[in-house]
Amino acid sequence: MTNAYQQAYERSLKDPEGFWGEAAGAITWIKPWTKVLDDSRKPYYRWFAGAECNTCFNAVDRHVAEGRGAQPAIIYDSPVTNTVRTITYAELKDQVARFAGVLRGLGVDKGDRVIVYMPMVPEAAVAMLACARLGAVHSVVFGGFASNELATRINDAKPKVIVSASCGIETNRVIPYKPLLDHAIELAEHKPGHTVILQRPQAAAEMIPGRDHDWADSAAKAAPAECVAVAATDPLYILYTSGTTGQPKGVVRDNGGHMVALKWTMGAVYDVKPGEVYWAASDVGWVVGHSYIVYGPLLNGNTTLLYEGKPVGTPDAGAFWRVISQHKVSVLFTAPTAFRAIKREDPNAELLKTYDISSLRALFLAGERSDPDTIKWAQSNLKVPVVDHWWQTETGWSIAANCLGLHEFPVKPGSPTKPAPGWDLQVLDEGHHPCKPGQTGSLVVKLPLPPGTFYTLWNAEQRFFDSYLGEFPGFYKTADAGIIDEDGYVYVMSRTDDIINVAGHRLSTGQMEEVLASHPDVAECAVIGVADQLKGQLPLGFICLKAGVTKSDEQVLKEVVALVRETIGPVAAFKSCTVVKRLPKTRSGKILRGTMQKIADNQDFKMPATIDDPAILEEIDESLQSIGYSKARKEAVE
């Protein structure tokens, strides 16, 4: 029997123009398109060619015109500053129009670039929307990024203006941004003409007369700017993602297709109605922040929650429950890492019992592989659907998901369920042949990609082709390995470079992590491949234990090694594992496995600009030395 998901999926592949043309009816257009899908320059497809629109109008002004002006658009909840502030759609329209006036007064026009280097404050969203209002291209750089990393983005995007703040706050630590920004501009070959600085009370920034402008003073004097018509195919933003060469890749998103896709996903994937409170617990510096803190919820007329805090430590592991209860959140989207942190601090979810979270209808997880144990823990405690969905910076929205707004499928822990409508996802082997159900291969998407995805890299079309389209002609390479089972469920096992070769056997470190995470005493884990003279590579595990574990580390390690051998088999050659207090992560929660591997193999590595706490790498190094890797391994070889 067919269901709404099956009907939507089949139509989206057979008749993509009809499917997405119909979805585009939910967007207000200044001028209609001449063609839904422009395939005149394959493999570089474009959506809604000939149309004109404005993203800011659809995200803000439209709702005011349609009577939602008094509805909260943004709830800013900042436990690190003890602040809760609500901004209505009418207030947001005024703030965005005025800040667009500030940018216009500094010479910003359609097509110009503006870098936004901000903490998690509402002004970050205002700056993004103000750029969209003018047709300028924003590039949000995660607040607190190192100066040299920011400088490379300044050189690539060549912004006319940089918008920043005097500081950010990490739990209880104030991080001054202005010295980092000043140094980045010194390092950069391209010199922006102006900066606009939001002065926060926690740290005042020293201003350079003539170049630096105070946000509050400038906004108070500015004349509001109206929305500018742009082509649907014009760029809305550039978002830099790490490149393997060290040179960041600037993912480019357009205006028209982006709006159509995100508006559609709010209902079809997340099952959220206009007016409801939606919370993506991420950061505006990441793709989740772009798609589901700012644009998706606002295009859908939701109240979006902007949270300046952590899942634990601000003040405790009940932080998320407090936010859900206080603001009546309907749907939460966060990284599995956040739930693993909560589970580690409060294994029995005692703090959850002190809050009323009855408003919550669903939890969505993405960003790291969602191990079955974390999903089961969330299901049993929250008693709502827990949806693992899979997507990437490049895709802008989910490749595979349990689309709750269409049809809720039974959950298979470890799987993000089925490909979302619009995604012709396939598994190919090394010879580019289709894999059988259950056989591991490269996960690829048949072109054209659906609307809302990236269509190039900024000033690097050849690199775009080489990185994503060249290896599998006619397909987008996700660089993830996985399987599709006989029921059509997708399993993302690991990045293709996380497949390790142990004596000729190709093994997934992700599969091993899944086994480690199933152990009742393990809160978090990671597995990497380390060099071995005999077998080429061997797996090496890291585990963090839950609070209150009474067994010795040695006993737990013995048990997890046996568990991997029992579940995957001796072929996994899993013998080495160590207990660590914490794992090195980016500030978005991704575990820095590549950096850990370099430390283990005693290779030179560059301190990741996105790392949450550099001191963790020293702890990892010490743990590795204690089991014969890293510096100790090098000395032993010599």
Vertex 298, ends 157 and 459: CA angle to 5°?
A: 15
- DSSP β-ladder status, 46-49 and 277-280: unpaired
Instruction: Kindly list the distances between the CA atom of residue 68 and the CA atoms of 59, 132, 259, 277, 325, in Å, as whole numbers in the listed order.
Output: 12, 20, 19, 14, 23
How does pLDDT run across 502-544, given as a tens digit for each residue?
755 657 787 788 889 999 999 999 999 888 776 778 899 999 9
- What confidence score (pLDDT) does residue 294 get? 98
pLDDT at 76: 98
**195-217 confidence digits (pLDDT tens):** 999 999 999 999 999 999 999 99
Q: Would you say residue 635 has pLDDT above 60?
A: no
For residue 571, pLDDT over 70 is answered with no
pLDDT surpassing 70 at residue 13: yes
pLDDT band (50, 70, 90) for residue 615: confident
Tell me the per-residue pLDDT of 68-103, one tens digit each, with 9 for 90 and over: 999 999 999 999 999 999 999 999 999 999 999 999
pLDDT tier for residue 632 given thresholds of 50, 70 and 90 = very low
Tell me which residue of 210, 154, 217 sits closest to 180, measured CA to CA: 154
**pLDDT band of 1, cuts 50, 70, 90:** low
Query: Which own/partner pairs from 9-16 qualify as long-range (CB within 8 Å, at least 24 positions apart)?
Result: 9/418, 9/419, 9/420, 9/421, 11/421, 12/421, 12/422, 12/450, 13/422, 13/424, 16/422, 16/448, 16/450
Q: What is the pLDDT of residues 150-172, one digit of tens each?
A: 999 999 999 999 999 999 998 88
Q: Name the pLDDT band for 637 (thresholds 50, 70, 90).
A: very low
How high is the pLDDT of residue 10?
97
Distance CA 80, CA 313 (A): 10
| pLDDT number for residue 244 | 47
Residue 50 CB neighbours (<10 A): 16
Whether the pLDDT of residue 277 is over 90: the answer is yes
Whether the predicted pLDDT of 548 surpasses 80: yes
Q: Which residue has the tokens 């051998």?
A: 565
pLDDT of residue 144: 75
- Tell me the backbone φ, ψ of residue 545, rounded to 5 degrees: -90, 155
In terms of average pLDDT, the best of 177-186, 489-498, 612-621, 627-636 is 177-186
Task: Please give the mean pLDDT across all residues of the chain.
Answer: 92
Does residue 633 surpass a pLDDT of 70?
no
> pLDDT band at 245, cuts 50/70/90?
very low
Flag whether pLDDT at 494 surpasses 70. no
Q: Which two tokens stand for residue 31?
A: 């001028």
Q: How far apart are CA 349 and CA 343, in angstroms?
A: 7
What would the pLDDT profile of 425-460 be if each residue is shown by its tens digit? 999 988 899 999 999 899 999 999 999 999 999 999
As its CATH architecture, domain 503-637 has: 2-Layer Sandwich (3.30)
Average pLDDT over residues 301-321: 96
What's the rounded Cα separation, in Å, for the pair 419 and 223? 46
* pLDDT tier, 413 (very low <50, low <70, confident <90, very high otherwise): confident
**Does 4-309+389-482 carry CATH code 3.30.70.1150?**
no
Residue 415, Cβ density class (10 Å: 0-12 exposed, 13-18 middle, ≥19 buried):
buried
Question: Would you kindly state where each structural domain of the chain is located, as residue ranges?
Answer: 4-309+389-482, 503-637
Question: Is the predicted pLDDT of residue 241 greater than 60, yes or no?
Answer: yes
Residue 636 has pLDDT above 50, yes or no: no
pLDDT at 498 over 80: no
pLDDT confidence band for 346 (50 / 70 / 90): very high
The pLDDT-based confidence of 568 (bands split at 50, 70, 90) is confident
Residue 106's SS3 state is coil
Give the pLDDT confidence score for residue 521 in this predicted structure.
94
For 631, the 3-state DSSP assignment is: helix
What 3-state DSSP class applies to 55?
Answer: helix
* Nearest to 295, CA basis, from 458, 132, 123: 132
Average pLDDT over residues 346-352: 96
Nearest-CA neighbor of 296 among 270, 320, 329, 323?
A: 270
pTM for the full model?
0.84
- In angstroms, the Cα distances linking 515 to 33, 342, 489, 512, 583 are 50, 20, 19, 5, 18
pLDDT given at position 172: 82
Strands annotated E in 546-617: 576-579
pLDDT at 246: 54
